[in-house]
Amino acid sequence: MLKDNFKNQHLRPISAALVFDDGEILWGNGLGVNKSVIAELCFNTSQTGYQETLTDPSYTKQIINFTFPHIGIVGTNDQDLESNKIYAEGCVINQAISNYSNWRAKDSLNTFLNNNDIPGITGVDTRYITRKLSNEGAKKVALINFGEDQNNFEEIKTKLKEWKGLENLDLATIVSTKKVYNWDEGLWKTNVIKKPTKNYPVVCLDFGIKQNILRSLNELNFETSILPATSNINEIMEKKPKGIFLSNGPGDPDATTKIILPTIKNIIKLKIPIFGICLGHQIISLALGAKTKKMYQGHRGANQPVKNLNNQTVEITSQNHGFEVDRSSLPNDIVETHISLFDGSNEGIKHKNLPIFSVQYHPEASPGPHDSSYLFEEFYKLIDAHA
């Protein structure tokens, strides 16, 4: 048996493996359920918020390598959720999970993974993995927490070679809500956003929306309706929205051109205020004539510096994306508003003549700082000016 052939004097007997598409294998200890998954491996640099990260739908078909070594120390609870389940395919953690301690904790991270049918691996050098991804770019991997798959190791490696990766995958329509619903929960902390007196109906197109986005919109008294990503222009306008919000989400933005993009182009013609985040930013950019491309390693974490070109200030932002808007493809009627101070990539745009703006990062954070929460207020002001 494979796990009987490898031992480590400091750890339990080997019970898991991380297999790279270049043939490299890292051995460790199993976490969560006994199963194997194949996905793109990425690294996240946040020091807190692992539960929010795991439940972010934007991590669909991705395995998260956490750079912070002490993941699991505050357990898990019923409040720190960004969706109703874990969307990441698996997780990679440096140190074995110790006893958790937090007054809100309900269960351990291991129990949380098991309840969501998600595998993980501990006891591997996450710093080495991060350097590997930084130097060599995104990697396709298989995470194997040995169980019934222990005798199918070669078969799993074959499946890994056959998997084509995230490019050309339309995951937004898969993770999106299948029915219309409303949202009435506000932010947990008061005074993050100043609550206005007027309220406006807003339609959120769900490409994999995080709940803290909905809390942030509700905090501004928006009457928020969340619609499936595949909604057509008639279904959207039945809600008589004063504004349209395009959410974050997973997958290749170019893969949305058949179903989602035509609808966005029709919305633009109506000159309704539009605000997009993450995948929503990429989709609105495509609809306005720009192009997107796969990033070398992506931006994921709650400590990403972004320069606001409007006022020359720096915002520390929360980000999670592996695709970007190609700066060189921006049409003349689009103004670039934000750029990354890591690699100079595009982080925000606005239209010169239409009430449209979007950002690549996550102003709602969760986890992360609140430097950019003002953007929700800017959306309100834009709607108020065009109401």
Catalytic residues: 278, 362, 364
Question: Does residue 274 sit in helix, strand or coil?
Answer: strand
Residue type, 36: S
Q: Are 178 and 228 in contact (CB under 8 A)?
A: yes
DSSP per-residue string spanning 337-372:
EEEETTT--EEEEEESSSSEEEESSBTT-SSS--TT
Q: At what angle do helices 279-287 and 261-269 cross, to 10 degrees?
A: 70
Residue type, 372: S
Q: Distance between CA 263 and CA 280 in Å, rounded?
A: 13
CB-side neighbour CA atoms (13 Å) of 354: 22
- H or E element: which one contains 318? strand 313-325
